[in-house]
Amino acid sequence: MKAKLINKIKIMDDIWSFEFTTENKMDYIAGQFIELTIEKSDSPNQKTFKRWFTLSSSPAENKLAITTRISPENQSDFKRELSNLHNNQNFDISQAMGDFVLTRDLSAKLTFIAFGIGVTPFRSIINQLSETNTIREINLIYISKSNGILPFEELFKNYLKNNIYTYSSIKKLENSTLFNDVLESKYIYIAGAEEKVMNFRNKLVLSKVEEDSIICDYFPGY
pTM of the full predicted structure? 0.93
User: Measured between alpha carbons, how far is 103 from 27 in angstroms, rounded to an integer?
Assistant: 18
**Within its chain, how far is the Cα of 162 from the centroid?**
21
Residues 94 and 35: beta-carbon distance below 8 Å: yes
β-pairing verdict for 187-193 and 110-115:
parallel
The pLDDT score that the predictor gives to residue 75 is 72
Residue range 2-35, pLDDT digits in tens: 999 999 999 998 999 999 999 888 999 999 999 9
The confidence band for 222, taking pLDDT boundaries of 50, 70 and 90, is low
User: Measured between alpha carbons, how far is 75 from 72 in angstroms, rounded to an integer?
Assistant: 6
Residue range 127-158, pLDDT digits in tens: 999 999 999 999 999 999 876 789 999 999 99
Backbone angles phi, psi at 157, to 5 degrees: -70, -35
Q: Where are the alpha helices (DSSP H) in the chain?
A: 77-83, 120-131, 153-160, 170-174, 178-184, 194-206
